[in-house]
């Protein structure tokens, strides 16, 4: 346990050495994306609180996007780049002989980041609640906790996906392209820009069989008190995390056979 | 003057050739770059299409106008991704490792060698997609023949302005140890510029038009094409290009003076 704690502390100091960089990478994109979405939807509703689009009034839509921002702030992960570099430059060799595996190292990185991102998200939430209290008046504590729990699992989902993408460096020269593709697809299909209940019905029905709704739409709806049952949602998310980690294991085993240990 | 232009064109031809040879050695990466751009184009059009299934207009624009705006944005974005983006990502490495030295001693403008050296071969192949969309939605809007004649020039103007703004932002990497955050900031400004200016509140719109003129990049040409009497923003755009050119040359000299040359 001690080595886990020590490694997490090392990750914290590494992350916070370049504070401006960290802020621009982690908080900047989420805040700017939120600002653009709020402006867009305000313009679509023409600032009219009475207009309804689907089941959403302007107030509902703004609340939805406020929570989307919080879910994004907590769950987003960026570990593929470092992992990809470690494999390409042959630094993985070190982890093969250390009593602390590459996976454990990456998990500690994820945990350290999750803690920081949780603090940042809660801080932002505090500011939002005090500034835009009208959008938070009907939030129930139990729904918030359920949504928060789902969001932490979404973080695990993102981590597993990024870990998988990073491992593909065993075959590919660059994996950032895959990360961008995944991000673009998930952003649209998870309801990050447009809530999924505004999608055409046929599309929404297909999406039910994918992990995408659970990445943003379901946790946000859960917090807003319209997310359906908690346990089936959690079970679905855990199912997709298990599938991803199973693929990760296969890719790791296959990839290690190809690993040449460049620079050894 | 003409021999000098010829010299730079020959030099640029060599840069392009080298990048294509390099790209062909990593064919899967080359294909993935194309897939990435296609996914991005699809997500942009799908988002707009889904929104217009619920509303008639956003601001004063109907579906065809916003789709044309998005196609125009993608055509400029395609040029930016093909000819500039890779250089921005590489700049931070060049500065940190001191490899900028090798570009500074070459018998060509250091700005030219630093920001135009790398071409994304995969992205260059996709010009047909945004241009086809632009032509399709332009014809749905019944553009007069003069609009079609000036369209390529407007795309180039927008490309120059986006290039100048992003290059100026990237100059700040000379004062930072890690430049990834600056690239994230650059991408966030792209995100803001990707939507019509009328979605933003008046104060924000003024800042993003007069101080950091990202909202002029796609809005000024599109508005001019929709209505030739709306030419003032286009004049502003040309003035912004002139000012950007002067600022960039001044800033580049300051940057080189503060460059510490890590490898020397």
**How far is the alpha carbon of A21 from chain B, nearest alpha carbon, in Å?**
4
DSSP assignment letter at A138: T
**A263 in a structural domain:** no
State how far the Cα of B261 lies from the Cα of A29, in Å rounded to an integer.
31
DSSP-assigned states of every residue in A224-264: TT-S--HHHHHHHHHHHHHHHHHHHHHHHHHHHHH---TT-
Rounded mean pLDDT, A159-176: 89
Of A162, A159, A166, A157, the closest CA to residue A212 belongs to: A157
> Is position A77 within any domain?
yes
What residues in B contact A39, CB-CB < 8 Å?
195, 199-201, 204
pLDDT of residue B99: 85
B36 → closest Cβ in A24, A53, A177: A177
Residue ranges of the alpha helices (H) in chain B? Answer: 2-25, 27-52, 63-83, 85-97, 100-104, 110-115, 121-124, 128-140, 145-170, 180-193, 202-206, 214-226, 232-258
Domain that holds residue A48: 2-258
Judge whether A264 lies within some domain.
Answer: no
Inter-chain CB proximity B29 and A174 less than 8 Å: yes
CB within 8 Å: B195 and A36: yes
Is residue A159 assigned to a domain? Answer: yes
ipTM score here? 0.89
Q: Which residue of B has its CA nearest to A51?
A: B55
State how far the alpha carbon of B227 is from the alpha carbons of A32, A35, B65, B80, in Å: 30, 29, 11, 26
A61 Cβ partners below 8 Å, 6+ apart? A41, A45, A53, A195
> Total domain count for chain A?
1
A36 pLDDT more than 70: yes
Least Cα distance to B80 among B48, B124, B38, B43 occurs for B124
Minimum mean pLDDT range among A5-9, A116-120, A257-261, B225-229:
A257-261
Mean pLDDT of A206-233: 91
- Amino acid B64: pLDDT: 95
CA dihedral B229, B230, B231, B234 (to 10 degrees): -160
State the greatest distance between any 2 C-alpha atoms of chain B, in Å, as a whole number. Answer: 61
Cα torsion through A218, A222, A225, A226, rounded to 10 = 20
Strand partners, B58: B61
The angle that helices B145-170 and B180-193 make with each other, rounded to 10 degrees, is 150
Neighbours of A124 (CB within 10 A): 18
pLDDT in tens, B141-176: 999 999 999 999 999 999 999 999 999 999 999 888
Where helices occur in chain A by DSSP H, the ranges are 2-17, 19-22, 28-44, 58-75, 80-88, 92-97, 102-131, 141-167, 176-189, 201-207, 212-215, 217-223, 230-258
Q: B123 near B19, Cβ under 8 Å?
A: no
CB of B106 closer than 8 Å to CB of B112: no
Where do we find the tokens 């998988």?
A164
At how many degrees (to 10) do helices A28-44 and A58-75 cross? Answer: 170
Rounded to an integer, what distance in angstroms lies between the CA atom of residue A198 and that of residue A204? 8
Residue A50 confidence (pLDDT) above 90:
no
Residue A41: inside a domain, yes or no?
A: yes
In chain A, the largest separation of any two C-alpha atoms, in whole Å, equals 66
B30, B40, B48, B51: which to substitute to probe chain A, counting the most A Cβ within 10 Å? B51
pLDDT value at residue B263: 63
User: pLDDT tens across B28-76, in order?
Assistant: 888 998 999 999 999 999 999 999 999 999 988 999 999 999 999 999 9
3-state secondary structure of A193: coil
% chain A with pLDDT above 70: 98
pTM: 0.91
Residues 6+ apart with CB under 8 A from A83: A102, A106, A162, A163, A166, A167, A169
Residues 20-39 of B with CB under 8 A from A: 26, 28-29, 32-33, 35-36, 39
The per-residue pLDDT for range B183-207, each reduced to its tens digit, is 888 999 999 999 999 999 999 999 9
């Amino acid at each position: 346990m001690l080595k886990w704690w020590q490694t997490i502390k090392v990750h914290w100091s590494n992350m916070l050495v370049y504070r401006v960089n960290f802020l621009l990478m982690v908080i900047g994109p989420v805040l700017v994306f939120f600002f653009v979405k709020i402006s867009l939807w305000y313009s679509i509703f023409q600032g009219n609180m009475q207009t309804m689009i689907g089941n959403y009034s302007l107030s509902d839509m703004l609340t939805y996007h406020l929570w989307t921002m919080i879910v994004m702030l907590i769950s987003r992960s960026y570990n593929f780049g470092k992992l990809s570099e470690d494999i390409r430059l042959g630094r993985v060799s070190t982890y093969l002989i250390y009593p602390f595996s590459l996976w454990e190292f990456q998990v500690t990185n994820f945990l350290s980041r999750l803690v920081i991102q949780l603090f940042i998200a809660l801080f932002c939430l505090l500011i939002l609640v005090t500034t835009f209290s009208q959008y938070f008046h009907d939030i129930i504590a139990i729904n918030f906790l359920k949504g928060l729990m789902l969001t932490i699992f979404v973080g695990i989902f993102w981590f597993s996906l990024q870990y998988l993408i990073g491992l593909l460096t065993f075959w590919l020269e660059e994996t950032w392209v895959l990360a961008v593709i995944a991000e673009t697809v998930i952003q649209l299909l998870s309801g990050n820009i447009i809530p999924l209940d505004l999608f055409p019905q046929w599309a929404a029905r297909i999406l039910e069989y994918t992990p995408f709704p659970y990445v943003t739409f379901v946790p946000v709806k859960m917090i807003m008190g319209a997310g359906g049952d908690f346990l089936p949602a959690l079970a679905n998310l855990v199912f997709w995390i298990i599938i991803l980690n199973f693929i990760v294991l296969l890719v790791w085993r296959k990839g290690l056979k190809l690993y040449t240990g460049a620079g050894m | 003057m003409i021999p000098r232009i010829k010299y730079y064109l020959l030099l640029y031809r060599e840069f392009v050739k080298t990048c294509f040879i390099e790209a062909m050695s990593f064919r899967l990466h080359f294909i993935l770059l194309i897939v990435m751009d296609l996914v991005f184009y699809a997500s942009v059009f799908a988002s707009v299409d889904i929104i217009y299934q619920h509303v008639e207009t956003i601001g004063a624009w109907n579906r065809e106008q916003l789709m044309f705006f998005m196609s125009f944005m993608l055509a400029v974005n395609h040029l930016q991704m093909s000819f500039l983006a890779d250089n921005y990502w590489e700049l931070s490495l060049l500065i940190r490792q001191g490899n900028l030295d090798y570009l500074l001693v070459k018998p060509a403008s250091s700005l030219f060698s630093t920001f135009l050296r790398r071409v994304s071969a995969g992205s260059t192949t996709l010009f047909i997609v945004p241009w086809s969309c632009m032509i399709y939605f332009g014809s749905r809007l019944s553009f007069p023949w003069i609009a079609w004649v000036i369209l390529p020039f407007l795309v180039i103007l927008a490309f120059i302005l986006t290039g100048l703004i992003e290059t100026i932002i990237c100059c700040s990497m000379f004062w930072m140890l890690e430049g990834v955050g600056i690239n994230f900031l650059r991408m966030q400004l792209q995100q803001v510029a990707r939507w019509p200016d009328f979605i933003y509140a008046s104060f924000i719109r003024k800042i993003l038009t007069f101080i950091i003129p990202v909202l002029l990049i796609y809005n000024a040409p599109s508005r001019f094409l929709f209505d030739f009497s709306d030419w003032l923003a286009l004049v502003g755009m040309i003035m912004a290009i002139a000012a950007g050119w002067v600022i960039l040359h001044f800033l580049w000299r300051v940057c080189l003076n503060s460059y510490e040359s890590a490898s020397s």
